[in-house]
Amino acid sequence: MERDVQLRIELASPVPVYRQIVEALRTYLVEGTLVPGDVLPSVRSLAGDLGIHFNTVAQAYRELAEEGWLDVSHGKSVRVIEREAPRENDEAAVEQFRTRIRRLIAEARAQGMTSHVVARELNALAGGLK
């Protein structure tokens, strides 16, 4: 059964396009929608499909390659690779995430969501990601 995996970006968003690509791909990689061996579009092809500059796509791919998700060796296709598991419970990383999640929760509460709804959503999302 063929998988239909789409990347969606919003040019009008305040989030830079390269960051949108990184975050969307990382989500797919973490939740297992993209698996080792998958071949992603070349920089040229993805930039053409999205109508954006190829350096933007190249920057996003480079960042994911540095994180160990992609092999972007020159002249080869962009391939998802087996990633070495990062160290568990790195305190600095946990602290960084805590700060970001606090901001997100504050934003959600400011928009009227109850703490119960926020907790339910966080639980559901965390459970959905491997």
Partner 1 sequence: MISSVAVIAPVAAVVLAGVALSLTTVWMRPGTFFGVRVAAEYPSSAEARETRRRFLIAVWAATAAAVVLAVLAFAVGMLALFVVGTLVQLGAAMLAFRSAWRRTARQRVEAPTTRTATLIAPELRVPGGAPALLGPFLVVGGACIALLVKWNSIPTRFPIHWDIQGQANGWSDRTAAGVFGPLLIAAVILAGMCGLVLFQKRGVRRASAASGVYRRNRALLAVPVVVMWVIASMFAIAALTPLILVNGRFPIPPLVMIAIPVAGVAAAIWLVYRSSSEPDDTAPDNTPDECWRWGMFYHNPDDASIMVEKRFGVGYTLNFARWQSWALMGGIIALPIAIIVIATR
Question: 31, 127 in Cβ contact below 8 A?
Answer: no
By CB under 8 A, residue 3 contacts partner 1: yes
Give the end-to-end CA distance of the chain in Å, rounded to a whole number. 22
Tokens of 65: 């390659």
Binding to partner 1, residues 44-103 (CB under 8 A):
44-54
Is residue 11 at the binding interface for partner 1, with CB under 8 A as the rule?
yes
Residues 41, 78 contacting (CB under 8 angstroms) = yes
Joined together, the tokens standing for residue 121 give: 């959503």
Which of 19, 26, 30, 38 is close enough to bind partner 1 by CB under 8 A? 38
Q: Shortest distance, CB of residue 57 to partner 1, whole angstroms? A: 9
Which stretches of the chain bind partner 1, using CB under 8 A? 2-12, 25, 28, 34, 38, 40-41, 43-54
